[in-house]
């Protein structure tokens, strides 16, 4: 086992995602504390130009392969496993993102390395990992039993700025056997534009499953109109087809940073928090005083939203 | 086409969660359990595919609290076969996945679809781990599946509403984020009828021999330190206070 900390670089359409810089920043802190080496693992085809943005790392291991031109769950899994196997790093950080969720568990099985998911904190010696579980209602601290561990990191857990360092780390090329792929990339489908761009709104009235039915949406819409804002929502509201995807805030929706984010009947699962925790003013209304959203809100109102909304609307 | 849908029960987060006496797990005695909501979506998508073009849907689960009820509910919704794996605790995803892989290895299948994640899968998501124990390919965060012949087209969601489309040959394991329709509801009376008319096949877990690979030292309620300033009183009082706040901040 080496003293290396690996960060798997996530990029889409030529742009490195924030999660990568968040992990690089944390990885650097840990490497500095333990005298280890921070290594960025970059996969792609003709993507080595990105290495210049990975200056937080001491070294970039780059796998160039036509099969990696676009993200492919199977190809990425194989390539990451191959690079990890060849180097035996003590820690591999992978985003707990749509892409990372394809990779981390697979590499864990293929190489028989412990995997700790949903990390929102890691001690600098790597010995204690905090996972956010039960929809953000519980934290669990655990310690890996072997010398190596794969950790999937929840986006937004560490500051990206610490890892956003330009530079010219040394680039070591590696190859991986990507023959026999049974998954092929077909196309990227861009999101449809919506009537309102919620990322540009200063006031968002955001509804969650607590709204109970689409018949109750006008209540929130009226409040939004009176406040001069727009309606946004949590994922289940979109899955129920009550509002369009363009209104969804969170991990698989949009990241918003309004002046006011009024969360009505939203529990505050980590996937939702990712999308709104940087709002200037967060007010949460929820019947459950233990709802995780209150850990992130500036002001909390324990109340039935069907009593609260009319009360507030009546004053506007 | 044969579709296998692994399901599991998870604590209902609407209920208060208590921590056990040694502070490392939930106090499970009074926990109210419910079907993992993403498994419900996986089952729904499988049933829709069955209705579209014909398929045999097998629902499979590890033995545990209330699992018979969950399996019968799946049958009431339209699942054809129910399988329960006995003799394994399933305390970690790796263990659960290995036990499932043992059971599934002897079965015929084209697609395995299960929930993209669950609220307690600390050592990772079932779909990908199961896929690798079986030596199958895998895609997670799937919001659309279209099967034809020996191949499937799957839509996988990234952030910001961006979707990637892949074509894959079967067998494949998919972590389902959302079915194309809201999962169907089934009345209790229908579940009771299913309980009488369907059987749960029991399969022994076989040699498992894997664990989470990490040990829990502490479970605790998160306290971000910041926390919200709580506004008490009646809805009227609270609305007044919020009005004050909005005017202070120049929002209204
Ligand atoms: C890969 C992946 C990506 C995801 N991406 C996103 C995403 O982008 N955005 C997102 O939001 N989720 C996302 N999720 C889903 C996420 O895990 C949660 O399931 C979701 O955020 C829960 O939404 P909710 O808070 O509306 O519902 P719930 O968690 O069910 O919460 C409802 C809340 O309403 C409260 N409530 C009930 N009745 C009332 C009432 N009358 N008055 C006031 N309060 C009431 C309850 O106490 C509860 O806290 C994702 C999940 C996965 C696996």
A145, A157 Cβ separation under 8 angstroms: no
Q: Is B247 on the interface with A (CB under 8 A)?
A: no
- Hey, are the CB atoms on A104 and B128 less than 8 Å from each other? yes
Q: Residues B28-52: pLDDT tens digits?
A: 988 999 999 999 999 999 999 999 9
CA atoms of A264 and A249, how far apart (whole Å):
13
Tell whether B76 and B130 lie within a shared domain.
yes
Q: Is B123 on the interface with A (CB under 8 A)?
A: yes
Question: Per the domain annotation, does A8 fall within a domain?
Answer: yes
The two beta strands, B9-11 and B33-35, are: antiparallel
Tell whether B240 and B177 lie within a shared domain.
no
Task: Show the ligand 1 pocket: residues with CB < 6 angstroms.
Answer: A 135, 208-210, 234-236, 248-253, 265-267, 269, 271-272, 275, 285-288, 291, 304-306; B 116-117, 141, 177
Identify the CATH number of the domain in which residue A262 sits.
3.40.50.1220
Question: Per the domain annotation, does A139 fall within a domain?
Answer: yes
B131 closest CA partner among B118, B145, B146, B112: B112
Q: Residues B66-94: pLDDT tens digits?
A: 899 999 999 999 999 999 999 998 889 99
A233, A207 Cβ separation under 8 angstroms: yes
A58, A4 Cβ separation under 8 angstroms: no
Q: Name every chain B residue with its beta carbon within 8 A of the beta carbon of A311.
A: 235-236, 238-239
Tell whether A210 and A157 lie within a shared domain.
no
Tell whether A122 and A242 lie within a shared domain.
no
CA atoms of A256 and A279, how far apart (whole Å):
7
Question: Per the domain annotation, does A45 fall within a domain?
Answer: yes
Return the sign of the alpha-carbon dihedral for residues A65, A71, A75, A76. positive
Among candidate residues A174, A190, A206, the one where a domain is terminated: A174
DSSP readout, A46-66? Answer: S-GGGGGG-TTSSEEEEEE-G
Tell whether A22 and A145 lie within a shared domain.
yes
Tell whether B46 and B98 lie within a shared domain.
yes
Q: Which atom of ligand 1 is nearest to the CA of A253?
A: 8
Looking at the DSSP assignment, which residues form a beta bridge with residue A300? Answer: A284, B230
Tell whether A88 and A204 lie within a shared domain.
no
Q: Is B139 on the interface with A (CB under 8 A)?
A: yes
Tell whether B226 and B150 lie within a shared domain.
no
Tell whether B29 and B88 lie within a shared domain.
yes
Question: Per the domain annotation, does A249 fall within a domain?
Answer: yes
Q: Is B243 on the interface with A (CB under 8 A)?
A: yes
Tell whether A237 and A288 lie within a shared domain.
yes
A302, A286 Cβ separation under 8 angstroms: yes
CA atoms of B25 and B92, how far apart (whole Å):
13
Identify the CATH number of the domain in which residue B160 sits.
3.40.50.620
* Over residues B183-198, mean pLDDT: 97
Tell whether B65 and B171 lie within a shared domain.
yes
Q: What is the pLDDT of residue A295?
A: 93
CA atoms of A304 and A310, how far apart (whole Å):
11
Tell whether A158 and A213 lie within a shared domain.
no
Tell whether A168 and A258 lie within a shared domain.
no
Q: What is the pLDDT of residue A192?
A: 83
Tell whether B172 and B234 lie within a shared domain.
no
Residue B242: which residues within 8 A CB-CB, separation 6 or more?
A283, A299, A301, A312, B231
Looking at the DSSP assignment, which residues form a beta bridge with residue A94? Answer: A152
Tell whether B240 and B118 lie within a shared domain.
no
Q: The domain containing residue A304 runs over which residues?
A: 198-313
Q: The domain containing residue B240 runs over which residues?
A: 222-252
B114 closest CA partner among B138, B80, B149: B138
Q: What is the pLDDT of residue A194?
A: 77
The answer to whether residue B55 scores a pLDDT higher than 90 is yes
List B residues 155-174 in contact with A (Cβ-Cβ < 8 A): 155-169, 172
Please count the residue pairs, one from chain A and one from chain B, whose beta carbons lie less than 8 angstroms apart. 275
- Hey, are the CB atoms on A117 and B212 less than 8 Å from each other? no
Question: Per the domain annotation, does A140 fall within a domain?
Answer: yes
DSSP readout, B83-101? Answer: EEEES----SHHHHHHHHH
Q: What is the pLDDT of residue A244?
A: 93
Tell whether A169 and A215 lie within a shared domain.
no
B172, B138 Cβ separation under 8 angstroms: yes
pLDDT category at B224 given cuts 50, 70, 90 is low
Question: Per the domain annotation, does B102 fall within a domain?
Answer: yes
Question: Per the domain annotation, does B211 fall within a domain?
Answer: no
B115, A51 Cβ separation under 8 angstroms: no
CA atoms of B189 and B187, how far apart (whole Å):
5
Tell whether A165 and A214 lie within a shared domain.
no
Count of domains forming chain B: 2
Structure tokens at B144: 């659309």
Tell whether A159 and A217 lie within a shared domain.
no
Q: Name every chain B residue with its beta carbon within 8 A of the beta carbon of A198.
A: none
The two beta strands, A138-144 and A129-133, are: antiparallel
Q: Three-state DSSP class for A241?
A: coil
- Hey, are the CB atoms on A114 and B213 less than 8 Å from each other? yes
Distance from A245 to chain B by nearest Cα, in Å?
Answer: 7
Nearest CA to ligand 1 atom 1: B141
Identify the CATH number of the domain in which residue A127 sits.
3.40.50.620
Tell whether A227 and A125 lie within a shared domain.
no
CB nearest A299 (choices: B124, B216, B228): B228
**DSSP assignment letter at A191:** P
Percent composition of chain A: helix, strand, coil (DSSP 3-state, to 5): 35, 30, 35
CA atoms of B172 and B105, how far apart (whole Å):
13
Tell whether B235 and B132 lie within a shared domain.
no
ipTM over 0.90: yes
Q: How many angstroms separate the Cα of B216 from the Cα of each of A16, A124, A210, B88?
A: 33, 18, 33, 19
Question: Per the domain annotation, does A187 fall within a domain?
Answer: no
Q: What is the pLDDT of residue A108?
A: 98
Q: Which atom of ligand 1 is nearest to the CA of A234?
A: 11
Distance from A189 to chain B by nearest Cα, in Å?
Answer: 5
Tell whether B186 and B240 lie within a shared domain.
no
Return the sign of the alpha-carbon dihedral for residues B99, B101, B105, B109. positive
Interface test with B, best of A118, A178, A187, A252 (most B CBs within 10 A): A252
Tell whether B243 and B147 lie within a shared domain.
no
Tell whether B140 and B246 lie within a shared domain.
no
Count of domains forming chain A: 2
The answer to whether residue B225 scores a pLDDT higher than 60 is no
pLDDT category at B149 given cuts 50, 70, 90 is confident
pLDDT category at B21 given cuts 50, 70, 90 is very high
Tell whether A10 and A137 lie within a shared domain.
yes
In this prediction, the residues of chain A whose per-residue pLDDT falls under 70 are 1
B114, B127 Cβ separation under 8 angstroms: yes
List B residues 48-87 in contact with A (Cβ-Cβ < 8 A): none
Q: Which atom of ligand 1 is nearest to the CA of B13?
A: 29
- Hey, are the CB atoms on B221 and A185 less than 8 Å from each other? no
């Amino acid at each position: 086992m080496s003293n290396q900390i690996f960060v798997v670089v996530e990029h889409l359409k030529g742009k490195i995602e924030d999660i990568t810089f968040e992990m690089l920043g944390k990885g650097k802190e840990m490497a500095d504390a333990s005298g280890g080496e921070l290594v960025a693992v970059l996969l792609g085809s003709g993507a080595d130009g990105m290495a210049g943005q990975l200056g937080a790392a001491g070294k970039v291991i780059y796998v160039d392969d036509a099969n990696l031109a676009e993200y492919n769950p199977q190809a990425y899994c194989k390539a990451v496993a191959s690079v990890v196997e060849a180097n035996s790093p003590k820690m591999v950080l992978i985003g707990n993102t749509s892409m990372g969720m394809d990779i981390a568990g697979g590499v864990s099985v293929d190489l028989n390395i412990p995997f700790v998911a949903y990390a929102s904190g890691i001690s600098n010696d790597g010995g204690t990992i905090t996972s956010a579980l039960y929809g953000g209602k519980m934290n669990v601290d655990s310690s890996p039993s072997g010398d190596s561990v794969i950790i999937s990191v929840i986006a937004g857990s560490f500051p990206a700025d610490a890892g956003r360092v330009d530079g010219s780390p040394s680039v070591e090329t590696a190859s991986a056997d990507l023959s026999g792929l049974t998954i092929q990339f077909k196309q990227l489908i861009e999101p449809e534009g919506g009537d309102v761009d919620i990322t540009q709104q200063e006031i968002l009235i955001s509804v969650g499953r607590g709204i109970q039915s689409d018949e109750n949406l006008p209540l929130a819409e009226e409040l939004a109109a009176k406040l001069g804002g727009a309606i946004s929502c949590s994922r289940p509201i979109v899955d129920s087809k009550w509002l369009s995807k363009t209104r969804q805030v969170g991990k698989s929706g949009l990241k918003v940073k309004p002046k006011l984010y009024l969360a009505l009947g939203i529990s505050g699962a980590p996937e939702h928090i990712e999308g709104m925790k940087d709002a200037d003013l967060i007010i949460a209304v929820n019947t459950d005083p233990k709802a995780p959203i209150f850990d992130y809100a500036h002001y909390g109102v324990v109340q039935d939203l069907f009593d609260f909304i009319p009360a507030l609307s009546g004053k506007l | 086409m044969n579709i296998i849908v692994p399901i599991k029960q998870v604590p209902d987060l609407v209920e208060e969660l208590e921590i056990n006496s040694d502070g490392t797990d939930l106090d499970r005695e009074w926990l109210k359990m419910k079907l993992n909501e993403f498994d419900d979506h996986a089952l729904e998508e499988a049933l829709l595919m069955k209705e579209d073009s014909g398929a045999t849907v097998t629902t499979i689960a590890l033995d545990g609290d209330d699992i018979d009820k969950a399996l019968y509910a799946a049958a009431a919704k339209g699942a054809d076969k129910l399988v329960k794996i006995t003799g394994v605790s399933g305390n970690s995803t790796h263990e659960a996945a290995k036990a499932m892989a043992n059971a599934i290895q002897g079965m015929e299948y084209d697609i395995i679809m299960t929930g993209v994640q669950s609220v307690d899968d600390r050592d990772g998501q079932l779909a990908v781990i199961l896929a690798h124990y079986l030596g199958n390919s895998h895609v997670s965060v799937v919001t659309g599946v279209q099967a034809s012949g020996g191949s499937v087209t799957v839509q996988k969601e990234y952030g910001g509403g961006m979707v990637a489309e892949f074509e894959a040959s079967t067998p494949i394991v998919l972590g389902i984020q959302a079915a194309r329709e809201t999962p169907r509801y089934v009345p209790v009376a229908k579940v009771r009828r299913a309980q009488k008319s369907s059987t749960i096949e029991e399969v022994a877990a076989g040699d498992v021999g894997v664990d989470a690979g990490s040990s829990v030292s502490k479970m605790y309620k998160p306290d971000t330190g910041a926390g919200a300033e709580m506004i008490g009183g009646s809805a009227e009082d609270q609305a007044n206070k919020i009005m004050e706040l909005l005017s202070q901040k120049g929002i209204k």
